[in-house]
Amino acid sequence: MMLDNPVSRYVQTLRQSQWASVEDLQEMQRSLLERLLSHAIAETDAYPARLTPVTNAQGRIDLARWSELPFLQRSDLQDRQDVFRARTVPEATGSIVPFSTSGSTGRPIHFVKSALLTHSSRAIVERAHDWAEADRDLPYVTISVDRREIGPPPDGQLRARWSHLGGEGRHGFLSISAPISVQVDFLNRMRPAYLKTYPTNIAALARYASGLPWHSNLRHVFTFAETLADDQVDIVREKLGVEITDFYASEESGQMATRCPHSNMYHVAAESNLVEVLKDDNTPCGPGESGRVVVTPFYNYALPLIRYEQNDIAELPTQPCGCGRSLPTIKRILGRTRDMFVLPDGDRVWPQLRPPAVMKFLPARQWQAVQIARDHIEVRYVDDGSGREPDQPAFQDYVHEKFAPEIALTLVQVDKIERSAGGKFREFISLVE
């Protein structure tokens, strides 16, 4: 029997709306946008002036000039968030919950969310469980950052249920601070059908701990927080024999898109947010083009985020997904703009150092590439204990091929590479402005 709660009720809507016509989805978005913008004008100090282009002479919302609205930056929320917070919120949007980002750039954001945003995000995750044909009576494990210190290693935490919709599947939670060996012990005890963790962590589990009892019952993997790379999907398929559903989300905006099991493209949760992918000139990207992600979540009435810069780059597909859902589609999430490397000539590129290639040159259990200057990349690595020596000349040639012949390579062996406060592992870091 399905539980009755805000999440389960919204899931029922999502199960229908994903098959709605494009026109009906757009009309739903228009209505939600108008409601949010009207609230922002009435209840905040900043938005009456910022939203002037979409306010007509009668004081009503007219979205014809939407593209003229300014973008909201992360620095706006860090430096002057008070002018964007609502003085009051509709009762239907629920309680106001304080939250914070992990601060991977060194400056976290402390902000507020409406409970309605949290409910909608959880419902989007539940819809993804539907897409993966998840059985809610089977066990599920989450290995993630443990902000509340509820699942410390080695024992973690065990709950009676993992789904907001019901079912008898136990939920095991373990802090990502646990070494792989401790994670495997926990997983061996749980024997989960479903595992949710970071892409780099599931790749490490697949690479170093396959063939053990923990994945004998595994049916599906869910990933989040980091950019999912093709080689991570490949190693999970090869070593664990299962598929991956990836979530694209942020603390500020909630769940934005989910990887479709039919095409491996990402369906935007159009019922909960407006996602724009824009070129450098701020015009919309066309099929096959890449641009920065700008999002407007519909349900955070406590802190309206209108045209919020996610600082991510996404690529649009050249053809629609064949699953039949009418939700907008993104081909792939390329990553954070701050992680792009800067070439000696000033051009910016995505680092193309893939793990299978890097590990041919390095005896590495884990590695991280840090650009410390335009002409210098430092690769830090944790030795895998094989006794194999790094092949620096061949690795240097590979770096020249992928970037530019002027770039020097330094290899630095370390004992450990730390994750961020939010649990994310950054394979690439650029220290070049």
CA atoms within a 13 Å half-sphere pointing along the CA-CB vector of 266 = 25
Each residue's pLDDT tens digit, 112-124? 999 999 999 999 9
Q: How high is the pLDDT of residue 109? A: 80
- Angstrom distance (rounded) from CA 380 to CA 411: 6
Q: Which portions of the chain are predicted below pLDDT 50? A: none
- Angstrom distance (rounded) from CA 72 to CA 322: 34
Q: How high is the pLDDT of residue 184? A: 95
Residue burial 147-184, b: 16+ Cβ < 10 Å; e: rest: eeeebebeebbbeebbbbbebebbbbbbbbebeeebbb
Put the strands of the sheet holding 290-297 in their side by side order: 273-278, 290-297, 308-315, 332-336
End-to-end CA, the chain: 55
6-122+248-336 CATH: 3.40.50.12780
Q: How high is the pLDDT of residue 1? A: 65
Q: How high is the pLDDT of residue 71? A: 97
341-430 CATH: 3.30.300.30
Tell me whether strands 273-278 and 266-268 are parallel, antiparallel or unpaired. Answer: unpaired
Q: How high is the pLDDT of residue 278? A: 97
Say which residues have a Cβ less than 8 Å from residue 313's Cβ, sequence separation at least 6: 290, 291, 292, 293, 333, 334, 335, 336, 337, 340, 350
Element (H, E) at 238: helix 230-240
Is the CB of residue 398 less than 8 Å from the CB of residue 351?
A: no
Residue at token pair 């790749």 = 203
pTM: 0.86
Q: Is 410 helix (H, G, I), strand (E, B) or coil?
A: strand
Q: How high is the pLDDT of residue 106? A: 52
Q: How high is the pLDDT of residue 359? A: 82
- Between the CA of residue 323 and those of 133, 230, 267, what are the distances in Å? 14, 21, 10
Q: How high is the pLDDT of residue 56? A: 86
Are 6-122+248-336 and 341-430 in the same CATH fold?
no
Per domain, the residue ranges of the chain are: 6-122+248-336, 341-430
Backbone angles phi, psi at 289, to 5 degrees: -95, 155
Q: How high is the pLDDT of residue 330? A: 97
Q: Kindly state the tokens that stand for 430.
A: 């650029």
